[in-house]
A and B are shown apart, each in its own frame.
Chain A
């Protein structure tokens, strides 16, 4: 390549940094939604770069379903300490206790949908007017139409048919009182780009992304890590000591593992290159219907 061109990763990095700086300048009170997964960790890395040598000028917020991988929480707390930024935790259990969210019925209720309630309550409580999300357009078909700056009305709703056109790199963050924006700096990244970037930058990620031994329950083809949050149902067995890793990290009740021996970032990059399933293919939350994500997004989901 000629000396005046950037690699695709450097271009994506420059774009994401630009978007983050725009948000910090255009909004009064932004927040970065942090799940402990690789995409939000990548966002934190980019935020560090965007404002260095100053500190990241906004807090992180974790919407906590209470069904976490313990490794994620340890990682989160250590990262926040190192960065010296504020961490806000919005608890789904608190929303349930308040009566604003109702636990699903049946065995192993998923709190995935309830997160939307807690997210919107937390944004309102702290009066955040912009929230960074790590969602990427390659993840899911409803996300493919998402803007970098995604406008939400006073109910936190997304109106996919009435989005603002987004041209060049001129981002319009103007809004009325009570409205807010979701901003997606990783819009143009693919799963592969994120892994390549993590490998290139040597970004630290939770150990459960790497191959390890774990007891799993096979539920409709999704390998759920066996934990206190999982009730083994009739016809299911616990498979002991499977060699697995996670491609995404979400709630323990719906994030499936993949069988893998990948123990290094380079091996993960190789594995992703050869993968024949999307990463969300292991997410039970997306399997509910063809438009599951579109419906959740309209209500105000991540």
Chain B
């Protein structure tokens, strides 16, 4: 490597961004193979890991190196050949770092998919070219849409098993287009691949001249995500009040938190909830110096011109763009626990940094996650069910609809006896 190349390389990471995506597919759609392929071809698998995979492949009697084993985690998963829990994988190309939330596809693992999807920018859904769009495809797409993932890539896998024929791909694409009109995802792309052979994953396939679109990796590298965050509605949920009480910072009083939307600048008028008092932003502080502006998803410390009553769980916004507030909240909830939802039951809740309790006032309907139909006469909400419910909270929440803002529109329900997270809620 020349000196010049060295200096370019060593600076490149200062300009990389980050894409989080989730992968879903039915059992045997080749999801683990696809992830193994992405990691392998982008050189994210080290030699010692590869040696383990090779020896494990041999032990299991596989004819060729089984890339799916790259993503095997726990002992029980290796023994049973299934994925039990969300696993996170990492790789990078020169301009972007990727975080994969690898979620199992079995019907009983809807809760894992919801978990993986909750932080994702993009979802990859795998379809077996021989079987086409199946119930699980629709379910995965619905969950991606419900969780407000903005970009979806439908990978038609195992093209090698249908002789790389265009008709197979086109049929699946058309079927999915019919279904996806019911979804709220605007950016949907279709890619014919063979994860096993590497066609259109990282390298363009030599077997599908009829496809002139991008490879999967190219798509992941280039999908535009910087406008996906809300930069309009300014929200700073207060995480902690910072008061050093040292001589140097005797009167310092800063509000620490992660910006969940919009932009704050010194001089901006702000309003705090629940107090309703207004003030102006005095400064946005970091150890590295003051900032001229702050936006999502920065973690900052804000100081205000006036001393007003603000503590953890409060919300700072702008007077001309306020969050909704109230104690009667409607939400879509995905149930995550074996113990079913108790209508009329009480749960602890977390919304932004606000803690409280709630009572489930009403189950309005359950969603058939394969057809998206409302089921109004079955109100038993168990593990992996998705339902629309109404809750009343002990404290007012300062929120936005989940569609408008994932950060201020999401809520979790917690069992007060076991402390387990039992429900994932999206405010309507």
Residues of A within 8 A of B (CB): 1-2, 4-15, 17-18, 21-22, 24-25, 48-55, 137-138, 141-142, 144-145, 160-161, 163-172, 174-176, 187-188, 190, 192-193, 196, 199-200, 266, 269-270, 273, 275-278, 281, 290-291, 294
Contact = CB atoms under 8 A, between A and B. Distances in A.
B346 to A, nearest CB: 14
B279 interface: no
A163 B226 contact: no
Contacts of A187: 88
A8 B287 contact: no
Nearest to A192: B92
Interface string B224-262: 001101010000000110111110110010101110000
A144 B73 contact: yes
Contacts of B73: 141-142, 144-145
A160 B74 contact: yes
Given A14-B297, A164-B420, A7 B16 contact: yes
Give me the 5 closest cross-chain CB pairs, A-B, nearest first.
A5-B226, A174-B419, A8-B18, A54-B244, A17-B299
6 contacts: A21-B240, A141-B74, A144-B73, A167-B119, A169-B119, A192-B13
A140 B101 CA distance: 16
Given A21-B299, A190-B90, A270-B9, A11 B18 contact: yes
A294 B74 contact: yes
Given A269-B10, A278-B48, A52 B99 contact: no
B90 A276 contact: no
Given A14-B298, A269-B10, A291 B75 contact: yes
Given A25-B353, A163-B85, A278 B240 contact: no
A169 B258 CA distance: 10
A189 to B, nearest CB: 9
Given A6-B17, A6-B297, A172-B412, 9 more contacts: A4-B263, A5-B226, A14-B258, A54-B243, A145-B73, A161-B74, A165-B114, A190-B97, A290-B56
A48 B420 CA distance: 31
A187 B16 CA distance: 19
Contacts of A176: 419
A137 B258 contact: no
A2 B295 CA distance: 12
Contact of B299 (A50, A199, A278, A294): A50
B392 interface: no
Contact of A172 (B111, B410, B419): B419
B360 interface: no
B275 interface: no
B118 interface: yes
Given A2-B226, A21-B299, A172-B350, A277 B48 contact: yes
Contact of B90 (A4, A55, A137): A137
A273 B239 contact: no
Nearest to A171: B350
A167 B424 contact: yes
Given A51-B242, A160-B74, A164-B420, A145 B85 contact: yes
Interface in B336-362: 336, 348, 350-351, 353
A109 to B, nearest CB: 25
Given A24-B240, A137-B90, A8 B17 contact: yes
A58 B256 CA distance: 17
Given A1-B226, A144-B89, A168 B47 contact: no
A196 B18 CA distance: 15
B128 interface: no
Contacts of B400: none
A163 B115 CA distance: 12
Contacts of B119: 167-169
B153 to A, nearest CB: 21
Contacts of A15: 297, 299
B63 interface: no
B201 to A, nearest CB: 21
A26 B412 CA distance: 16
Contacts of B252: 53
B378 to A, nearest CB: 24
Given A7-B16, A14-B297, A160-B74, A145 B244 contact: no
Contacts of B48: 277-278, 281
A277 B73 CA distance: 19
Of B18, B231, B249, B411, most A-chain CB atoms within 10 Å? B18
Given A25-B239, A25-B353, A169-B258, A4 B87 contact: no
B49 interface: yes
A117 B46 CA distance: 32
B421 A7 contact: no
B231 A7 contact: no
A54 B115 CA distance: 34
Nearest to A172: B421
B406 interface: yes
A164 B60 CA distance: 32
B88 A137 contact: yes
A138 to B, nearest CB: 5
A8 B16 contact: yes
Contacts of B285: 52-53
Contacts of B414: 172, 174
Contacts of B301: 52
Contacts of A270: 6, 9-10
A36 to B, nearest CB: 22
A24 B85 CA distance: 28
A269 B347 CA distance: 48
Contacts of A269: 10, 13
Contacts of B111: 165
